[in-house]
Structure 1
Amino acid sequence: MAASLQDIQRRIASTSKTRQITSAMQMVSTAKLSQIQRHGGSYTVYSDALHDVVAHLATAHINNVKGTLLEQRRVTKVGFLVISSDRGLVGGYNSTLLKEVMAEITRRQLTTDQVVILAVGGNGADFFKKRGFDVAYEYRGVSDVPTFDEVREIVQMATTMYDNEVFDELNVAYQHYVSRISNEVHLEKMLPVSTDDLVESKDETKFTADYEMEPSAEQILSIVLPQYAESLVYGTILDAKTAEHAASANAMSSATDNAKEIIDSLGLKYNRARQSAITTEITEITGGMAALN
C-alpha cells in the first residue's frame, strides 16, 4: 500500500509540473496573439486601401494591361501554397487544414504529378513529402509576428514559378482566424489574379472622381498588381499565424484544465488509499491488543 501511495504522489507531482508548463505556454501564446492582432489591424488598413486602388484601376483599364499575373492559361499543373505551423501543440490546427487540402485535390481528381506544393511551415512540408507530392518550395521558421521582408521571398518564389510555368494556377490554403476559440480553413485562388473578383468586390460608392495619372493607368496597374499579390500572401500569413497562436492558447488551456482534473482525481484516489491504509493499521493494532487480552 505504501508503494501505491508513493506512486500516486509521484504522478501528482509530475502532472503538477506539466500543468505549470502548459499554463505558462498558454500565457505566452495569448501574449503573441495580442501582439499579432495589433500588428494585423494596422496592416488591414493598408491592404484595404491597396485593394481599392487596384479595383478602381481595374474597372476602367484592365483590358489594356498585359502581364503574366493576369494570364489565364490551360491548367495542367496546380500549385498549392499551404500555410501550416512549424511546431505542434496547436490542437487540430494542422490536421484540419491538411485534410481540407487533400479533399480539394481529391475533388479535382488531381494526381501527385499534377500538384506542386509550396509549403510555409514544417508540418505541411513533411506531410506532403511523406505522401509523394512535389514540394517545390518550403519555408520554415516563420516569425511569431511575420515581417513583410519574410513574405517577399515567398511571394517572389511563387510568382517566379508561375512565370516559369511550374504551375498554371496557385491556390493558397490557410487557417482563417475567426475568434479566440474558432478558426476556419480558407482555400482561395491567388494566381492568376482574378480581375472579376477585383471588380465585383469593389465598392462603387468609394470612387466617384476621375484621376490624372503619370505614367499611364495601365503602367501603374502593371506595377501595383505584383504589390497586390504580395499583400494577399502577407495578409494570409498574418491571418494564419493569428489563428495558430489562438489554437495554441486554446490547446494549452485545455491541457491545463485536463491536468487539473487528473490532479484532483489522483488526490481523491490518494486520500482514499491513505484512509484505507490507516483503517487497516488500526484494525491490525486492535486485533493485536485483543489477542494479548
Structure 2
Amino acid sequence: MASLKEVKTRINSVQSTRKITSAMKMVASAKLHKAQGAIENMLPYQRKLNKILTNFLSADLPVESPYVVERPVKRVAIVAFSSNGSLCGAFNANVLKLFLQTVGEYRELGQDNILIYPVGRKIEETIKKLGFFPQGSYQQFADKPNYSEAAALAHTLMDLFVNKEVDRVELIYHHFKSIGIQELLRERYLPIDLSDMGNQDAESGVVNDYIVEPSAEQLIADLIPQVLSQKIFTAALDSNASEHAARVLAMQVATDNANELIQELTKQYNKTRQQAITNELLDIVGGSMA
C-alpha cells in the first residue's frame, strides 16, 4: 500500500491538473460563445444564398455555368478542416479518419493527382507524415476565419476547376449543431450539385421562372464566386465552433474524472492514515502490557 506522503502527492498533482482543465474549459466556453454566435448568424444567410444560386442554375435559362459541368474524375482537390491545437477529444482524429477514407477512394488516381488543402495545423502535419505535399498553409485561417482568406482559397479552387486542372473538389469539416453534437461532413464543393435542390423544388411546387436583369450571364458571373467563397467561410466558422465545443466537452470530462480521482485518493489517504494511527495505538498498548 502507498505511503501517506505518496497519496498526498498524487492528490496535490490531480488537484493541479483539475485547475488546468477547469481553466481551459472556461476559456473554451468563452471562445465557443463568440464562435457559436458567428456561425448561427452566418448559416441562414449562406443557405439562402446557396438556394438562390441552385434554383437559378436549375431554371430553364439559356445560360450554362462551367461550375456545374460533370467530368470524369482524373484529378481531385480535398479541403480538410482541423484545429491548430489539441485537447479537443476525438475532433481531429475523426477528421483524419474521414480524410484517409476519402483519399483511399481516390488512391487509383495516384498521389500526384490528389491535391490537399489543409486548414489547421493538425491535418497539415498529418498529411506531411503521409508523404503528401500540402497546397499551402492555412493555420491562421483555422484559428481566426475571415472572409478574405476564404475568398482567396475559393477563387484558387474555382480557377483549378474551370481550367480543368481538377475535376472535383471536396470539403471535409465539422458542422456545429450544438455543444454536444458536432457532425462530421464530407461535401462536394465543385461541380455544384443541383440534384438535391431540384428534388426540393419538385416537392414544394416551386417553379423556377426568373426575369433576370441586366443579364443571366452577369448574374452568374457575380453570384457564383460569392456563394462559393461564402461556403468556404461558413465551413471554417462551422469547424471553429465545433472545435471549441469539442474542447469544452473534453475539458469537462477531464475535470469530472479529476474530481472522481481526488475523491478516491482522499478515501485511500484517510484509510491509510487511520490504519497507521491504529497500528501506533496497538504498539503503545502492547508496550504498556509488556
Q: Which runs of 5+ in 2 are unaligned?
A: none
| 2:100 aligned to which of 82, 99, 102 | 102
Q: Select between 4-13 and 196-205 the one with higher mean Cα deviation.
A: 196-205
Q: Tell me how far 1:284 sits from its aligned partner.
A: 1.7
Stretch deviating more after TM superposition (185-194 or 78-87): 185-194
Cα distance in structure 2, aligned partners of 1:152 and 1:115: 22
Structure 1 counterpart of 2:72, from 71, 74, 95: 74
Contact 1:83 1:174 in 2 (8 A): yes
Using structure 2 for the length normalisation, give the TM-score. 0.89
| Residues in 2 aligned to 1:269 and 1:157: alpha-carbon distance in whole angstroms | 61
SS at match of 1:261: helix
CA separation of 1:238 and 1:227: change in aligned 2, threshold 3 A: same
Shift of 1:148: 1.8
1:231 aligns with 2:230: yes
Amino acid aligned to 1:42: N
- Partners of 2:87 and 2:105 lie apart in 1 by 30
Helix, strand or coil: the match of 1:138? coil
Please give the alpha-carbon distance, in whole angstroms, between the structure 2 residues aligned to 1:158 and 1:24. Answer: 40
Q: Percent identity?
A: 33
Contact kept in structure 1, 2:58 and 2:208, CA below 8 Å: no
The structural deviation recorded for 1:254 is 0.4
Q: 2:209 & 2:71 partners in 1: Cα distance?
A: 33
What residue is the counterpart of 1:86 in the other structure?
84
Residues 81 and 117, structure 1, Cα contact 8 Å, conserved in 2: yes
- Bigger CA drift: 160-169 or 146-155? 160-169
Q: Which moved more, 1:118-127 or 1:228-237?
A: 228-237
What secondary structure sits across from 1:194 in the alignment? coil
Q: Does 1:260 align with 2:250?
A: no
The number of residues matched between the two structures is 289
CA RMSD of the aligned region, Å?
2.5
What pairs up with 1:1-293 in 2 under 5 angstroms?
4-60=3-59, 63-67=62-66, 69-110=67-108, 111-142=110-141, 146-202=145-201, 212-291=211-290
CA distance in 2, matches of 1:162, 1:112: 18
Q: Relative to structure 1, is the Cα distance of residues 177 and 152 closer, same or farther in structure 2, using a 3 angstrom cutoff?
A: same
Contact 1:32–1:245 at 8 Å: present in 2 too? yes
Cα separation, 2, equivalents of 1:15 and 1:284? 34
Residue 163 of structure 1: CA displacement?
Answer: 4.2
Structure 2 vs 1, CA of residues 261 and 15 (structure 1 numbering), >3 Å: closer, same or farther?
Answer: same
Aligned with 1:180: secondary structure?
coil
State the TM-score, normalizing by the size of structure 1: 0.88
Partners of 1:13 and 1:283 in 2: CA distance: 31
The one-letter code sitting in structure 2 at the alignment partner of 1:12 is I
Asked if 1 retains the 8 angstrom alpha-carbon contact of 2:63 and 2:216, the reply is no
Cα drift, residue 145 of structure 1:
5.6
Contact 2:91/2:246 (8 A) holds in 1: yes
Could you tell me how far 1:114 is from its partner in structure 2? 3.0
Q: Deviations over 1:81-128 (max 9, x none)?
A: 000011100100111121112122224444423311100001111111
Q: Structure 1, unaligned stretches of length 5 or more?
A: none
